[in-house]
Amino acid sequence: MTATLAADRAVGARRVSVTRGYRFELVKLVSQWRIRLLVLACWIAPALFVAAVSQQSSLPVDTLFGRWMHATGWAGPLVTLGFAGTWALPLLTSVVVGDVFASEDRLGTWRHLLVAVRSPRRIFAAKALSSLTVILLLVVGLACSSAAGGLVAVGNHPLVGLDGHLLTPGDAAGKVLLAWVCVLAPTLALAAVGLLGSVALGRSPMGLLLPALVALAMQLAQMLPLPMAVRVALPGYAFIAWNGLFTSPAQLGPLLIGVVVSLVWAVTATALAYLLFLRRDFTNLTVDGSGRRVVTVGALPLAGVLAATVGVVAVATPTTGSGIEQDKVQRSVATAFAHLYRMQTTQLHRPDVTEAQLKATATCNKGGGKLAAEGPGNDWRCVVSWHLPDVEAAGSAIYQLDVTPDGRFVADGDGPKEVNGYFLVRTQTGDAPNPLWQFDGNVELLHTTKG
Amino acid sequence: MDAPLAIRARGITKCFGDVVALDDVDLDVAQGQIHGLVGPNGAGKTTLLGLLLGLAVADSGRLEILRTPITRALAAPDGVAGFVDGPGLYPSLTARQNLAALVALRDQDARTAGINDVLDQVGLTDVADDRASGFSLGMRQRLGLAAALLTKPRLLVLDEPSNGLDPAGKRHVHAVLTRLAADGTSVVFSSHRMDDLEALCSEVTILAAGRVVFTGPLTKLAAENRELYYRLRTSDPQAARRLAADTAGIHIDDDARARDAEVLVIRALVPALDDLVMRLVHAGIAVRELAAVVSPLEAAFLALTEQQEALR
């Protein structure tokens, strides 16, 4: 008997590896109908949406690059990206990550999981990695599907950038890909907030909603006339800052800051969620880990991160106020006008001119000159002047600008009719959209690029 | 020679804040023994089972499981399986997928892990490919047991495994537990169902208010017990009543007469009961029914736990 016992002597507890835990969590996630539906929706719906919108006569001109959806298939994924950053990605992270810990509370499976895996650390890692995998799958689906829809419906054509310059299809593809990669950073930040909410709020539905609520708060903040340093230091800024990739030279400063801030939030929120999870007492089923103290422990450090990033951005960047200043608006409008004028010249088969020959300048004021020429608003007015080779008189055109707090503007042509007063131009092959009638532009909020 | 111990607990105390869940608990469970844990709600049964599964560690005392000292949480040795507070299943997975996911978690091959075999043992083969979300409580309990069986346990710890079981399900579970014990696996389970405990357990531990008020064989429990109530039906109820009244150690429950005049309910120790039966036979009165109103285990449980509650 003793010999049998010695042979039988139990070995110490063997923990399950993170890899196997990750597969286990992935199986659980993918088995849920809502996750399957989301995956299907993200891989199919954007293609259908982009293809359908591209065939319509009226385009979503309020959305960035929406006015170019007839011109190139690469506008579709950017329109989708703009929509995704506002609604889809926060909601996707809510549904996937906001429930990843809370679902075990709801199902009463924590003890079962702990007995099976025997390591809260590995459970946390497996859950975080598996939910991240699903989110990546969804984001890749959105990007690939919208690009495929656009390319199939419209084709692989050059894309007009936010300063009017033309990107070759290859450049457009690269920048579209880069833009989607950049929004992974704020998506990770929201996912980390979702992890934190799911750990800290337990069975409460607030845990599920937290990423969406945080994203909504960030969007509201972006709509308010906040100082530029605060705006850029918010973790959701990278959802907007990818716009800077589509100017020449690219406005990389705000984008890099936005990405770094998002990653700092992602790391901090994940670390907080991890610490809270390890402190939880799983032997007491009546307690799901939530509580005022837990929420405070989770929220206060994030408030500290926000304050610190605002401080760092404020010190590191010379821009104060809204960042929307007269000279930057004038420069953006003139640059975009010059690029688009060349495009119009090509459409009309006129002799080619270069941007350097045009020497376009813009003179802008706000509120009819009665207000200080700075800050967002729809009361900006610009007069653009340019020169044609061998023509002594300068041409001029008027634009009404609607500048939003994030630096984006829509310039609406106000005449003369031959240049920008009508939405069509008559070409040898028929009427075509007039690129100078209305165009989108972007004012760089930070002084980080020259040109 | 006594069987070696699968569980040896000495002086186990566990508190949650100010609440003493377990107070100086001793427990011995031999290899191959089916051991029942019984006690009123809040007696500490689930806490004790949680300690055995390694979900928590005792605040004080010594606990050895399969001869391995347990000094920290989640350190129960391999060979310990089971569940507390429900079987912990994922409703979006089928029964088979639940088991396959667990098998994959342990890096076993799903084809050779015996999934079909354990499903068959607990009687769930017919619903193996149905989602667990549609399962009744009894089916979930059986699937939880199947999940535990996959590990080929040497100590099985189950919290209320009979909850929600229909007679067929109960038969499956009893058969599985009996077979496991015969093969040398120790089983510790809690239950409020005295019939389960009496049918399966060779020993029981009764907990009340976190303390052990009895531990040992069921026979010892019955012997230590006080008077029990019995139903007595005879060919002559009036004469039987007179004889019972004259027999030392027999107490007649007059309240029962109002409910059924043909039945005599008496309270007695076993020797007095034997004496009464002999006197009835001598008097030519046929005994048609003699049965305990409540089982000895239930009576003992009620007596011991009420006594403990009164002391608090």
Question: Could you give the dihedral angle defined by the CA atoms of residues B299, B303, B306 and B311, in that order, rounded to the nearest 10 degrees?
Answer: -170
Q: How confident is the model at residue A23 (pLDDT cuts 50, 70, 90)?
A: very high
Residue A359: DSSP 8-state? T
Query: How far does B82 lie from chain A, in Å, by closest CA?
Result: 8
pLDDT value, residue B256: 63
pLDDT value, residue B100: 93
Percent of chain A with pLDDT over 90: 47
Query: For the residues A79-106, what does the mean pLDDT come to?
Result: 90
Per the model's pLDDT, the better-predicted residue between B95 and A209 turns out to be B95
Are B68 and B52 in contact by the 8 Å Cβ rule? The answer is: no
pLDDT value, residue B9: 95
- Structure tokens, B305: 């736990």
For the stretch A50-88, pLDDT in tens is: 999 998 888 888 888 999 999 999 999 999 999 998 889
- Write the CATH number for B192: 3.40.50.300
> Which of A209-218, A297-306, B32-41 is predicted with the least confidence, judged by mean pLDDT?
A297-306
pLDDT at A411 over 70: yes
Contacts 24+ apart (CB under 8 A), A430-438: A432/A347, A433/A67, A433/A70, A433/A71, A434/A344, A435/A160, A435/A164, A435/A340, A435/A343, A435/A344, A435/A347, A436/A337, A436/A340, A436/A341, A436/A344, A436/A397, A437/A412, A437/A413, A438/A61, A438/A67, A438/A410, A438/A411, A438/A412, A438/A413
**Range among A135-149, A230-244, A267-281, B215-229 rated most confident:** A135-149
- Do residue A20 and residue B102 have CB atoms under 8 angstroms apart? no
Query: How far does A310 lie from chain B, in Å, by closest CA?
Result: 42
- Are residues B199 and B232 both part of a single domain? no
Q: Which of B223, B240, B262 is the last residue of a domain?
A: B223
Percent of chain B with pLDDT over 70: 94
- Are residues B232 and B204 both part of a single domain? no
Task: Supply angle C-alpha A338, A250, A406, rounded to 5.
Answer: 90
pLDDT value, residue A79: 96
pLDDT value, residue B269: 86
Q: Which residue of B has its CA nearest to A120?
A: B74
- CA A43 to chain centroid, in Å, comes to 18
Q: How confident is the model at residue B74 (pLDDT cuts 50, 70, 90)?
A: confident
pLDDT at A138 over 60: yes
For the stretch A350-383, pLDDT in tens is: 888 898 898 999 999 998 888 888 888 999 999 9
- Do residue B84 and residue A111 have CB atoms under 8 angstroms apart? yes
3-state secondary structure of A19: helix
- Are residues B182 and B205 both part of a single domain? yes
**Residue environment code for A108-128, b if the CB has 16+ CB neighbours within 10 A, otherwise e:** ebbbbbbbbbbbbebbbbbbb
Q: Which of B223, B258, B277 is the last residue of a domain?
A: B223
- Are residues B205 and B252 both part of a single domain? no
pLDDT value, residue A351: 86
Q: In whole angstroms, give the CA distance from residue A441 to residue A331.
A: 11
- Do residue B92 and residue A32 have CB atoms under 8 angstroms apart? yes
Domain span at residue B245 reads 225-311
**Range among A168-172, A248-252, B192-196 rated most confident:** A168-172
Are B262 and B237 in contact by the 8 Å Cβ rule? The answer is: yes
pLDDT value, residue B106: 82
pLDDT value, residue B124: 94
pLDDT value, residue A421: 80
- Are residues B146 and B250 both part of a single domain? no
Q: In whole angstroms, give the CA distance from residue A385 to residue A363.
A: 8
Contacts 24+ apart (CB under 8 A), A118-122: A118/A13, A118/A14, A118/A15, A118/A16, A118/B54, A118/B74, A118/B75, A119/A15, A119/A16, A119/B74, A120/A277, A120/A278, A120/A280, A120/A282, A120/B74, A121/A274, A121/A278, A122/A15, A122/A16, A122/A17, A122/A18, A122/A21
- Write the CATH number for B245: 3.30.70
**CA count, 13 A, side-chain hemisphere, A250:** 16
Taking residue A84's Cβ as centre, other Cβ atoms within 10 Å add up to 25
pLDDT at B308 over 70: no
| Chain B residues near residue A124 by CB distance under 8 angstroms | none
3-state secondary structure of B294: coil
3-state secondary structure of A371: strand
pLDDT value, residue A287: 62
Question: Could you give the dihedral angle defined by the CA atoms of residues B88, B91, B93 and B94, in that order, rounded to the nearest 10 degrees?
Answer: 90
**Which of these, B19, B173, B29, lies nearest to B87 by C-alpha position?**
B173
| Chain A residues near residue B16 by CB distance under 8 angstroms | 283-284
Residue B107 has its nearest CB partner, among A1, A8, A20, at: A20
Query: For the residues B251-265, what does the mean pLDDT come to?
Result: 78
pLDDT value, residue A184: 95
Q: How confident is the model at residue A10 (pLDDT cuts 50, 70, 90)?
A: very low
pLDDT at A285 over 80: no
Q: Which residue of A has its CA nearest to B86?
A: A108
- Are residues B190 and B299 both part of a single domain? no
Please tell me if residue A6 touches chain B, with a CB cutoff of 8 Å: no
pLDDT value, residue B258: 60
| Chain A residues near residue B45 by CB distance under 8 angstroms | none
> Which of A267-271, B257-261, B270-274 is predicted with the least confidence, judged by mean pLDDT?
B257-261
pLDDT at A232 over 90: no
pLDDT at B78 over 90: no
| Chain A residues near residue B154 by CB distance under 8 angstroms | 8, 10
Please tell me if residue A372 touches chain B, with a CB cutoff of 8 Å: no
| Chain B residues near residue A108 by CB distance under 8 angstroms | 85-86, 88
Please tell me if residue B97 touches chain A, with a CB cutoff of 8 Å: yes
Per the model's pLDDT, the better-predicted residue between B306 and A126 turns out to be A126
pLDDT at A8 over 60: no
- Do residue A283 and residue B56 have CB atoms under 8 angstroms apart? yes
Query: For the residues A162-181, what does the mean pLDDT come to?
Result: 94
- Are residues B197 and B240 both part of a single domain? no
Per the model's pLDDT, the better-predicted residue between B3 and B185 turns out to be B185
- Are residues B153 and B281 both part of a single domain? no
pLDDT at A430 over 90: no
- Are residues B296 and B174 both part of a single domain? no
Domain residue ranges of chain A, discontinuous segments joined by + = 18-316, 326-442
- Do residue B1 and residue A1 have CB atoms under 8 angstroms apart? yes
Query: How far does A11 lie from chain B, in Å, by closest CA?
Result: 6
Please tell me if residue A341 touches chain B, with a CB cutoff of 8 Å: no
Are A358 and A345 in contact by the 8 Å Cβ rule? The answer is: no
Question: Total structural domains in chain B?
Answer: 2
Q: How confident is the model at residue B144 (pLDDT cuts 50, 70, 90)?
A: very high
Query: For the residues A391-416, what does the mean pLDDT come to?
Result: 89
pLDDT at A221 over 50: yes
- How many beta-carbon contacts under 8 Å exist across A and B? 111
**No. of H helices and E strands in chain A?**
17, 9
pLDDT value, residue A289: 60
Query: How far does A114 lie from chain B, in Å, by closest CA?
Result: 7
Query: For the residues A132-142, what does the mean pLDDT come to?
Result: 96
